[in-house]
Amino acid sequence: MTKAFHYHDGQLHAEEVAVASLADRVGTPFYLYSAGAMEAAYSRFSGALVAQGLDALVCYAVKANPHLAVIATFARLGAGADVVSEGELRRALAVGVPAEKIVFAGVGKTAAELAFALDAGILQFNVESMEELRLLNRIALDKGVKAPVSVRVNPDVDARTHAKITTGKAENKFGIGYDEAGDVLREARDLPGIEVGGLATHIGSQITELEPFEAAFIRVAALFSEQRQAGLPLRRLDLGGGLGIAYEKEDLPCPEDYAAVVARTVGHLDVPLIFEPGRHLVGQAGLLVSRVLYVKHGRSRHFLILDAGMNDLMRPALYDAWHDILPLEEPATAELIPFDVVGPICETGDLFAEGRPLPPLEAGDLVAFASAGAYSASMASTYNSRLPAPEVMVRGARWEVIRPRPSYEEMMRSEKLPDWLL
């Protein structure tokens, strides 16, 4: 648990608010975010870069948690935004992120998205293919402007993270191959609708060691120096994000160690740097709160059946991801029972934890999934026609429902029957 989530008088609190009191008011399941935890994570990350004397712009990776209140929390601290769709771009603009602090990444930007971002006046496009570069050039020429571009380089470095969230190896779909980057940069320089600004890289998410970062940054710094000496006007470097968080109390690198690697590998370039942390800023700032529906004792297994399902929290089913499970009432006994923690979805894969040692729990008890601030609510669905979980944010003793639970009528309102069924 972070300092924002702690037991006080035997009850789990989010900052100064008893989580159980919110469950009574909001109903379960629901997501709960600590604004203070987000602010502390941002301040530590950005502060570590400043302490190394780096000229750094921190752009929050919106995909981690795209809620307007989350983006706005970072925007008020001076953060920019890293977006991968027009929808995310519109969200960032809506809460006041300056366009000149927004980076547009992603391998599949459409012509409409490129045009919208050009009109918005964003800081840069991280271009990931020659085809995208040429399309962007045509759109910029039609508008009579130049598109600011950084070429995303795939350094062919193994991030040693989960296979589904690694992005920096040669076989991944992301970026332009290291050996082809020079050719792409030279073509970009010669395109009349393109303004080449720099290089970008991002090798994956939930990276738990510093060595992959160091290897990637060394390669990209060498390419940057080589291309700048060849006359290309490179003036900034985007190093992406990926620094992991502790889900199982792992001993992971801290922002200060990460910043030291950055300074050691690219500091000599003496150019502005862009960073795009997402999970690192919001992951440990969120909980998913759920209620026990039934305790089912089988012949060889004990099942804890919750009112939250894989539609609410997809990460365990998708990645075999671990989330600590915390009783909202501090356990009065050291006794632990190995529970399979499951949800109500009609899928065997609706499994949060297998054989997880937990205190004795009964129907009606409340539990919280820790480290659920990133890639959790954003990946949720209405599978089995279940209502989306509401989202709540706390700051000190104040709290606010920032996304209410819709009614069934509201959930169905976006659908319509064809004429022949009326």
Give residue 164's identity as a one-letter amino acid code.
Answer: K
Q: Taking a C-beta distance cutoff of 8 angstroms, is the pair 62, 91 a contact?
A: yes
- The residue from 163, 334, 346, 422 that is catalytic is 346
Taking the CA atoms of 9, 15, 20 and 22 in sequence, report the sign of the dihedral they define.
positive
Bridge-partner residues for 326, per DSSP? 368
Structure-block tokens of residue 279: 């999970």
Count of Cβ atoms closer than 10 Å to residue 209 Cβ? 13
Q: In angstroms, rounded to a whole number, what is the distance separating the alpha carbons of residues 176 and 197?
A: 16
Whether 346 sits among the annotated catalytic residues: the reply is yes
Give which of 16, 50, 53 is closest to 35, Cα–Cα.
16
Residue written as token pair 């300056």: 98
Would you call the peptide bond into 29 cis, given omega within 30 degrees of 0 as the criterion? yes
Give residue 193's identity as a one-letter amino acid code.
Answer: G
* Run of H or E including 35: helix 35-51
Bridge-partner residues for 302, per DSSP? 297, 339
What three-state secondary structure class fits 185? helix
* Run of H or E including 265: helix 255-266
Q: Taking a C-beta distance cutoff of 8 angstroms, is the pair 67, 286 a contact?
A: no
Bridge-partner residues for 358, per DSSP? 337
Give which of 291, 326, 322 is closest to 306, Cα–Cα.
291
What three-state secondary structure class fits 229? helix
How distant, in Å, are the alpha carbons of 90, 115, 233 from that of 119? 12, 6, 24
Give which of 59, 409, 366, 54 is closest to 240, Cα–Cα.
59
What three-state secondary structure class fits 318? helix
Main-chain dihedrals φ then ψ at residue 305, nearest 5 degrees: -100, 120
Active-site residue list: 346
